[in-house]
Amino acid sequence: MSTTKIVLGITGASGFIGGALVRCAKAKPHLSLRLFDRCAGTIEGLSVSVLEDSLPSLAEVDYLIHLAGLIPKRGNQTDYQKINVELAERVAEAAFAAKVKRFVLASSLGVHGHSAPNAITPDAPFAPESPYAVSKAEAEHRVKSILANTQTALGIVRPPVVYGPGMAGKFAALAKVIRLGIPLPRGAHGVRA
């Protein structure tokens, strides 16, 4: 029986999704975690390497999940370009150089626009409508280009709105209203009874 652990790298480890992933992955005895974020420190008792202009080595990382990014309404086009596009590009290049087996990029369902006339499939056309979604679409294109025809497999996840314990923003406010038993208006903003 082999005792070799799989080394899983997670960028954006302090974020909402990253933190949940770290907690889940830490409980898996076959995984060894390498965490990356904008600030050094510890998360769940694990040390964090800083993602800066010069990236830390990804040597020995088997799989990398790139969650680092700037969320909607937290920046401008320049910020989205630097963090969502250029950082994703540099991390993908580092993953390729380190011979990471699989690179998973967290994108957004928003790359397809706010509504689609047909079912959204992996090959559905892009129609981003916000600076955030434009940056995610561009990041996908650049990362695909970097990892095409390499030994590093690419997976792209396009989640819609993400919510859960510890969430912030509109969903947190809505959850609080529901917990308090405040009735929600019917028929407002297209909501039907």
pTM for the structure as a whole: 0.87
Q: For residue 183, what pLDDT is reported? A: 82
Query: Quick one: average pLDDT of 12-29?
Result: 94
92: helix, strand or coil = helix
Give 26-38 pLDDT, tens digit per residue.
999 999 999 999 8
Among 50-59, 146-155, 184-193, the least confident range: 184-193
- At 87-137, the pLDDT tens digits run 999 999 999 999 999 999 999 999 999 887 788 888 889 999 999 999 999
- Domains of the chain, earliest start first: 6-162 (3.40.50.720), 166-193 (no CATH)
* Nearest in space to 36 (alpha carbons), one of 22, 20, 16: 22
Task: Give the pLDDT confidence score for residue 193 in this predicted structure.
Answer: 44
Per-residue pLDDT at 150 exceeds 60 = yes
Is residue 63 scored above 50 in pLDDT?
Answer: yes
**pLDDT band for position 186 (50/70/90)?**
low
Report helix, strand or coil for 34.
strand
60/73 Cα distance (integer angstroms):
35
- 3-state secondary structure string, 107-162? CCHHHHCCCCCCCCCCCCCCCCCCHHHHHHHHHHHHHHHHHCCCCCEEEEECCCCC
Place of tokens 């396009």: 158
